[in-house]
Amino acid sequence: MKVGIAMMSHETNTFSPVITDLDRFSGGRPEPLSGEAALETYRNTASCLGGFIKVATERGADIVHGIAAAAAPSGRAENDAYEYICENITTLSARVDGLLLVLHGAMATRKYDDGEGELLRRIRQLHPDLPICVALDMHANVTSTMVSNCDVLAGYHSYPHIDMDSTAERAANIFFNWLEGKCKPVMKWATAPMLPHVMRQGTDDFPNKQLQQRAIELEDSSCLAVSFFTGFPHADIHDAGVSAVVITDGDQDHAKNCADELLDFAWQERSHFVYQAEELPVSLDRARQARENEGSGPVIILDHYDNTASGGTMDTTEVLAAVINAKLEDVAVFGFYDPDAVEQMIRAGVGATVTVELGGKLPMPALDTQSKPLKLTGEVKLISNGKFKARVAMSRGLTINMGLSAVLSVGTIDIAIISRHIEPYDPECFRALGMEPTQRSYLMLKSRIHYRVGFKPIAKAIIECAGCGVCTSDYNQLVFESVRRPIYPLDHAESGHNTSRDEFINLQS
């Protein structure tokens, strides 16, 4: 059997000004990987493609690798980039007997709110009988178009996403078992009118921890795949929010009941999905106190309003300015996206003293506030090509490309400045730039939840700091125009705690 494998992965923050063009999908290469180069790059890595390649190989399939296009989260994808990727995948579809697709599930383009649904619809239209299997991110905003145009669909159980490979393996095994006549997958999809804050979606925490554990229990007992999707709220599209997809072996009613069980629990515990931010000065006071407490390891200052892996500009300066004003000492910062500052530092050379206008450069018209550049004078400590091998469970084995990078030392504060957006979840991002994170008093990270995979084990304390950015946890800072209404917590005034999902929808309409 000839099986096609391809990836089109993007989480779109429709409030983000960061451009999503083909270059962003290419990861610093002239174009996205495909063919043998993609196979060699992703084989044996902790990625969805790695999982698909493993199972397809085990099942003796003849693999035809199409495009492997993944862009860090940002604004709506440019139409030409989207069409380029879609055409590659629809062309691949004509050459194979089955398709294994890595999609994110919250991709919006300039033209389409549901990028994945549109891709799957096109493939189905061209090849109505082609079996299609899809692996999705937990932050997928799943749509009926997606579900009705594929045969097997599964999402992650962990956030941070340390189970990308095993999710793809689960989906692919169902897919091959079906094609070998060993099961008859039936799929049910249902949604709840909720937009959980990303800061409350981690699977170390109640209630998503319990929801994912229950999904796994159901998979182990009576279902083939059970996926609870927290959704991605920074997407002002109709279908943003929570959903569940359950696959059983031929039992439609059971699939529906299991999806409802998860959604009812999520709905009942909806207030726990709401994040309460505190004032920045209060957070920095707590950081200083935490440093004085017993225990070893750095205190993490989490600049979570400006998180790359949710579409942040990675250049807002409010938290760094507050760290400097608070006179915190021995801080390593990861990081700032500012290619101009990197260029200036490269021109000056290692050891030179430079004055840079750091960050605050990308306009954020979706917000009422705008970050400003921070004028800093310091020493160019290091210059790097910005590449390192990931070592943590998320994307282990893949080379991460930060682009040309430099470290600016301002007193005892070392700031990583990079030219390609990446999320700091692997401590290697510091080590690649000559900093040992375990030896510092404070680490300032532009991250929300993914930092936990590599930094939580070494941290003495974690202080969440509300700065400025398009990943704000304050929905009042954003204007939602297209998301389905009513939706919690945007519309919650009249609903009591015991209001059911259906009552809530009826109450508000």
The binder of Zn ion chosen from 78, 113, 114, 137 (CB under 5 A): 137
Each residue 91-130 as x (binds Zn ion by CB under 5 A) or -, in order, gives ----------------------------------------
Residue with smallest beta-carbon separation from Zn ion: 139
**CA distance to 92, 146, 383, 394, per residue, from 406 (Å):** 40, 42, 4, 25
Closest distance to Zn ion from the beta carbon of 333 (Å): 24
Q: Does 188 bind Zn ion (CB under 5 A)?
A: no
Cα distance between the two ends of the chain: 51
Closest distance to Zn ion from the beta carbon of 106 (Å): 8
The whole-angstrom distance between residue 351's C-alpha and the CA centroid of its chain comes to 36
Q: Which stretch binds Zn ion (CB under 5 A): 134-142, 356-364, 392-400, 480-488?
A: 134-142
Closest distance to Zn ion from the beta carbon of 474 (Å): 21
How many Å is the maximal CA-CA distance in the chain?
69
- Label residue 254 left, alpha or beta by phi (over 0 means left) and psi (-120 to 50 means alpha): alpha
Closest distance to Zn ion from the beta carbon of 56 (Å): 24
For Zn ion, which is the closer residue by CB, 203 or 405?
203
Closest distance to Zn ion from the beta carbon of 139 (Å): 4
Angle at CA 160, nearest 5°, toward 316 and 489?
Answer: 70
Q: Which stretch binds Zn ion (CB under 5 A): 49-57, 132-140, 146-154, 270-278?
A: 132-140
Of 389, 394, 392, residue with least CA distance to 41:
389
Of 426, 428, 461, 432, residue with least CA distance to 447:
426
Alpha-carbon torsion (286, 359, 15, 334), positive or negative: negative
Q: Does 65 bind Zn ion (CB under 5 A)?
A: no
Closest distance to Zn ion from the beta carbon of 312 (Å): 14
- Strand 132-136 with 225-229, pairing: unpaired
**CA distance to 315, 353, 436, 441, per residue, from 331 (Å):** 17, 19, 11, 6
Dig out the tokens for 314 from the structure: 């990675």
Q: Which stretch binds Zn ion (CB under 5 A): 105-113, 133-141, 184-192, 426-434?
A: 133-141
The 3-state secondary structure of 232-276 reads CCCCCCCCCCEEEEEEEECCHHHHHHHHHHHHHHHHHCHHHHCCC
For Zn ion, which is the closer residue by CB, 334 or 425?
425
Size of the site for Zn ion (CB under 5 A): 2
For Zn ion, which is the closer residue by CB, 320 or 470?
470
For Zn ion, which is the closer residue by CB, 309 or 468?
309
The 3-state secondary structure of 106-166 reads ECCECCCCCHHHHHHHHHHHHCCCCCEEEEECCCCCCCHHHHHCCCEEEECCCCCCCCHHH
Closest distance to Zn ion from the beta carbon of 154 (Å): 14
Q: Which stretch binds Zn ion (CB under 5 A): 55-63, 137-145, 361-369, 384-392?
A: 137-145
Closest distance to Zn ion from the beta carbon of 382 (Å): 31
For Zn ion, which is the closer residue by CB, 137 or 239?
137
Q: Which stretch binds Zn ion (CB under 5 A): 64-72, 138-146, 395-403, 440-448?
A: 138-146
CB 384 within 8 A of CB 421: no
Closest distance to Zn ion from the beta carbon of 425 (Å): 11
How many Cβ atoms sit within 10 Å of the Cβ of residue 395?
A: 22
The rounded distance, in Å, linking the Cα atoms of 28 and 12 is 19
Q: Does 139 bind Zn ion (CB under 5 A)?
A: yes
For Zn ion, which is the closer residue by CB, 73 or 437?
73
| Residue 457 neighbours by CB under 8 Å, 6+ apart | none
Q: Which stretch binds Zn ion (CB under 5 A): 110-118, 135-143, 213-221, 242-250?
A: 135-143
How many Cβ atoms sit within 10 Å of the Cβ of residue 26?
A: 17
For Zn ion, which is the closer residue by CB, 226 or 333?
226
For Zn ion, which is the closer residue by CB, 137 or 306?
137
For Zn ion, which is the closer residue by CB, 231 or 437?
231
Interface residues with Zn ion (CB under 5 A) are 137, 139
